Each structure stands twice: as C-alpha cells, then as structure tokens.
C-alpha cells in the first residue's frame, strides 16, 4: 500500500470513529424533544452555485421526527425541494406532514399538512480566492395547515443575507435573517447564525452550527406543537441553539445526516435527515 492509500485509509477510519462516537452519544441522550421543523440538520443555507448543475439542478430531502410527552405524541415529516433556475438563482419549497396522537381521553387525533415555506435565493457576488460569496434570500411561510393544531396564523416574511466561503477542508456560512411575523399577537424576530462543515474525507463530514434568535416572535414551529415545541417565545426570551452532527456521503448523489441540537432553554432534539442531489454535488 503506497503512502497516499495509507493516508486515505487512516482518514476513512477517523471518519468512521468520529461518526460512531457522535452517533452513540446522541442515541444515549434518550428521546426527541423540542424542535423547529427542518428537512436538514443545519438551518443556514448554502449559496446557489453550490447546488448548480446545467443538466438537472434539483435536490430533494426529508426528515423523520418524533416528539412525545404525557399528553400526546407527534410525528413530523418535513421535506424540501430545491431547484436552481440559474447558477445564481435558486427556489426552495418546504412542505410538512404532521400526525398528532393523544394519550388522554379528551385529546384529538390530528393528521395533515403543516404550514408551507417557500424561499428564493440570489447569489449576487460570486466567491473568489480572498472573497466570500454573498447571497440574498427571501422566505415566506404560508398558513396552509389543514388543522389549527399543526399550523400558525398569518404569513411570515423573512429577508436575509448569507456569506459563504470554501476554506478547502472547511466550508463556512454566515447568515443574518429578519422575520416579519404574521401572527398579530407576536413580534418580529432577528437571527444570526454561523455554520461549518469539516470534510474528514470523501465519505464523512462533521457539521456544526450556532444560531441566536433575538426578539419575541415565533421561532419556526407550529403553534399546536407539543411540550412547548414551536410555541411563540415570550418577551425577553432570546434563544441560542447549537447543532453538531455527521454527514455520510453514501454516494455522489445520496447523503444521510444525523446529529443533535441543544438550546439555552434546556430543550434538545435528535435529527435524522436524507438528501438526494440529482446534480451529484
């Protein structure tokens, strides 16, 4: 075995050990708890050029989430679809399916579509050797839930800016996002985040993100979620959350992600997601 092959083998073993340690830790944590709906582990989005392909610039994915308390259990299946119209313009559509099963006699069983989120991203400055890519984004949360227990009233409008830089072994994304909350009883929110992906080898990435949300508005969730999941944050309830996970590139097109989210309010979540890129990036 030559030097390069031995180095690749060592990297592969290191990636498998890292994935095993993190996944074992997350499984030991127990049950799934408080979470915003998202079909990916990291909330910060990549620049459109990262998913561009001239033949079929389409990426799809989904999550499987489970939450429970003494009154009810909730199963949630957020999904996403991304399509690049051009190398710098990308459309994102994120539907959500929710099932709530009661544990008490007077509880309701609810199954249906949750609120729909759509987004448009435009990369107006391309990445260069000493310059990050800059992307403007606009998001709309549509009140499409088929039941009030799995949705929230009004449309939310969000405007944001993303700075992305490829540092060879690590990809860094910075995001600032302001949301005009449609619920008249809630206030707007502003969040800043930093996310990174460390490429261990061709198969494994370590993913991390820190997000801080300012204000009193709803933080990406349905008003009917259990255990306070997605319940609007009250005055002064600024929130910080940290995410750590592993991405496993099974093939050039198929990726599986698993990780955990911990928040300063004491809530946490285990996340499992998959993603299929028709472009193969």
CB 160 within 8 A of CB 140: no
Look over the chain and give the mean of its residue pLDDT values, rounded to a whole number.
80
pLDDT per residue as tens, the chain (281 positions): 454 445 445 545 544 554 454 444 333 333 333 334 566 788 887 788 888 888 889 999 998 877 777 788 888 889 999 999 999 999 999 999 999 988 888 888 899 999 999 999 999 999 998 899 999 999 999 999 998 888 888 899 999 999 999 998 899 999 999 999 888 888 899 999 999 999 999 999 999 999 999 975 444 444 333 333 343 344 445 899 999 999 999 998 999 999 888 889 887 778 899 999 987 76
Comparing CA positions, the residue from 41, 113, 95, 98 lying closest to residue 66 is 98
- Contacts (Cβ under 8 Å, ≥6 apart) of 10: none
Q: What are the structure tokens assigned to 183, written together?
A: 């619920």
User: Phi/psi of residue 26, each to 5°?
Assistant: -70, -40
Cα–Cα dist 109/106, whole Å: 10
Comparing CA positions, the residue from 266, 241, 181, 184 lying closest to residue 38 is 241
Grouping H, G, I as helix, E, B as strand and the rest as coil, residue 226 is helix
CB 206 within 8 A of CB 169: no
How, if at all, do strands 116-125 and 133-142 pair? antiparallel
Cα–Cα dist 78/96, whole Å: 4
Maximum distance among all alpha carbons in the chain? Answer: 68
What's the pLDDT at 38?
62
Q: What are the structure tokens assigned to 243, written together?
A: 């995410």
CB 118 within 8 A of CB 94: yes
Length of the chain equals 281
Cα–Cα dist 37/143, whole Å: 14
Cα–Cα dist 171/203, whole Å: 15
CB 23 within 8 A of CB 246: yes
Cα–Cα dist 187/232, whole Å: 9
Cα–Cα dist 214/256, whole Å: 31
Comparing CA positions, the residue from 241, 274, 248, 243 lying closest to residue 259 is 243
Tell me the pTM.
0.76
Q: How far is CA 280 from the centre of its chain?
A: 20
In terms of C-beta density within 10 A (0-12 exposed, 13-18 middle, 19 or more buried), how is residue 130 classed?
Answer: exposed
**C-alpha separations of 200 from 18, 46, 50, 242 in Å:** 9, 19, 19, 20
């Amino acid at each position: 075995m030559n030097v390069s092959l031995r180095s690749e083998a060592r990297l592969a073993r290191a990636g498998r050990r890292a994935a095993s340690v993190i996944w074992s830790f997350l499984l030991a944590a127990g049950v799934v708890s408080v979470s915003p709906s998202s079909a990916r582990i990291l909330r910060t989005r990549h620049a459109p050029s990262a998913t561009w392909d001239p033949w079929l610039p389409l990426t799809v994915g989904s999550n499987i989430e489970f939450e429970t308390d003494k009154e009810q259990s909730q199963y949630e299946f957020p999904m996403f679809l991304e399509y690049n119209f051009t190398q710098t313009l990308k459309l994102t559509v994120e539907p959500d399916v929710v099932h709530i099963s009661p544990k008490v006699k007077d509880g309701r069983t609810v199954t249906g579509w949750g609120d729909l989120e759509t987004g448009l991203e435009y990369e107006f400055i391309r990445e260069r050797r000493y310059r990050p890519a800059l992307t403007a984004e606009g998001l709309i949360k549509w009140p499409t839930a088929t039941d009030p227990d799995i949705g929230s009233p009004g449309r939310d409008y969000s405007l944001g800016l993303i700075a992305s830089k490829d540092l060879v072994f690590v990809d860094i994304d910075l995001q600032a996002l302001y949301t005009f909350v449609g619920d008249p009883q809630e206030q707007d929110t502003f969040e800043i985040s930093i996310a990174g992906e460390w490429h261990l080898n061709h198969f494994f990435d370590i993913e991390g993100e820190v997000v801080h949300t300012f204000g009193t508005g709803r933080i990406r969730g349905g008003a009917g979620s259990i255990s306070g999941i997605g319940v609007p944050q009250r005055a002064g309830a600024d929130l910080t959350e940290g995410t750590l996970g592993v991405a496993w590139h099974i093939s050039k097109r198929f990726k599986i992600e698993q990780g955990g989210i911990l928040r300063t309010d004491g809530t946490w979540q285990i996340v499992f997601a998959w993603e299929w890129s028709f472009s193969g990036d």
